[in-house]
Amino acid sequence: MEFSGNGYFGIEENKPIIFINEQLNDIDTSLTILHETAHFLNGDCNKYITNHFQNDNLEYEANKYMIQEVMKMLDEQYDFTTDTNYQQIIDNLNLPYHLDGIIIDEFNNIISDKFGLTPYHESDYFYE
């Protein structure tokens, strides 16, 4: 099956299946597997419709799950502290710019849980 993009989740013969672009490097393959797994866990195959706003929300939720799982794994491996440079995480993952806020929010959630701090969420503040 040929498809554009990094991966695809669908139902084939009543069974869930994830296709991954074989041209991806190891990091992009892992990220894509997590993203497509989120679509499976959320039951998104039955939710795709022609409304682009709702589809954008499905993609946002899949990206959020992917980032949450990656950040948990990175914290387990590197033991994040308040001095951890989340910008370095952003740069190393090389994700699209529009996902930076999710990475920052998840990093802040991890730090607040570990150290009993009040989490800062970029989305909580509005700029005029």
For residue range 23-32, what is the model confidence (pLDDT) as tens digits?
999 989 999 9
Task: Please indicate, yes or no, if residue 52 is contained in any of the structural domains.
Answer: yes
Domain assignment present for 123: no
pLDDT tens-digit profile of 37-73? Answer: 999 999 887 766 556 666 788 899 999 999 999 999 9
% of residues, the chain, pLDDT over 90: 57
Domain that holds residue 33: 7-115
Cα angle 39-37-85, degrees, rounded to a multiple of 5: 105
Mean pLDDT, range 89-118, rounded to an integer: 91
Residue 122 lies in a domain: no
For residue 21, the model assigns a pLDDT of 93
Give the pLDDT of residue 85. 94
| Total number of domains constituting the chain | 1
Asked whether the predicted pLDDT for residue 126 surpasses 70, the reply is: no
Q: What is the per-residue pLDDT for 55?
A: 78
Task: For residue 102, give every residue at least 6 positions away whose Cβ sits within 8 Å of its Cβ, in sequence order, or none.
Answer: 63, 64, 67
Is residue 46 in a domain? yes
CA quadruple 3, 33, 67, 55: dihedral sign: positive
At residue 84 the predicted structure's pLDDT band, cuts being 50, 70 and 90, is: very high
**Does a structural domain hold residue 39?**
yes
**Residue with the larger pLDDT of the pair 95 and 71:** 71
For tokens 């996902």, the residue is: 99
Confidence (pLDDT) at 128: 52
Residue 14 region, left (φ>0) first, then alpha (ψ -120 to 50), else beta? left
